[in-house]
């Protein structure tokens, strides 16, 4: 089956992004396909490479990046939600006159249309968050 995943909560505060990650892993392990993982609301905070959790804790951001690399996943961060919360790639840095970027590897910033397309293309869009 072809899945799309929507992550609506940030890392560490809320279980949602952990569960979404475990779900994504399980989906792939069962041989299903993930069309796209979309990050919205505080979920965009899953995409900052500047997180530094204690060494004995899971690194949620790196975990996403690694999964994306291993399985060639399309992980998309909503541009409007990202701008509000300071998630920046090269293009956004230039466009908005910022002095840094923080988007983690494996993520890309794009519009909500990518979420709608994922809903259309996938057999199931599974939402994680409140």
Partner 1 sequence: MFVNRKAPYGTIYAWESLEVVLIAAAFEQDVSMAFLDDGVYQLKKGHNTKGIEVKAFEKTFGALEDYDVTKIYVDQESLSERGLTTDDLALPSRCSPVPILAS
Angle between helices 16-29 and 60-71 (to 10 degrees): 20
Query: Of the candidates 16, 81, 82, 118, which one interacts with partner 1 according to CB under 8 A?
Result: 81
Residue 47 contacts by C-beta under 8 Å, 6 or more apart in sequence?
A: 39, 61, 64, 75, 77, 82, 87, 103, 104, 107
Site for partner 1 contains 112 (CB under 8 A): yes
Kindly identify the residues of this chain, within the stretch 26-65, that bind partner 1 according to CB under 8 A.
40-41
Smaller CB distance to partner 1: residue 56 or 130? 130
User: Catalytic pick from 6, 75, 78, 81?
Assistant: 78
Cβ neighbours around 56 below 10 Å, total: 5
Annotated catalytic residue 78: yes
Query: Binding-site residue total for partner 1 (CB under 8 A)?
Result: 14
Beta bridge partners of 37: 5, 75
Which active-site residues does the annotation give? 78
Residue numbers of the site for partner 1 (CB under 8 A)?
Answer: 40-41, 80-81, 84, 111-113, 115-117, 119-120, 130
């Amino acid at each position: 089956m072809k899945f799309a995943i929507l992550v609506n909560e940030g890392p560490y505060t809320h279980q949602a992004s952990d569960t979404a990650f475990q779900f994504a892993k399980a989906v792939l392990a069962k041989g299903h396909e993930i069309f796209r993982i979309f990050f919205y609301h505080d979920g965009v905070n899953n995409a900052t490479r500047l997180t530094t959790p204690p060494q004995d804790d899971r690194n949620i951001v790196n975990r996403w990046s690694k999964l994306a690399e291993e399985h060639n996943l399309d992980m998309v961060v909503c541009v409007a939600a990202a701008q509000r919360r300071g998630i920046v790639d090269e293009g956004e840095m230039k466009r908005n006159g910022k002095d840094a970027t923080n988007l983690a590897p494996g993520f890309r910033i794009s519009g909500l249309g990518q979420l709608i397309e994922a809903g259309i293309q996938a057999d199931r869009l599974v939402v994680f968050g409140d």
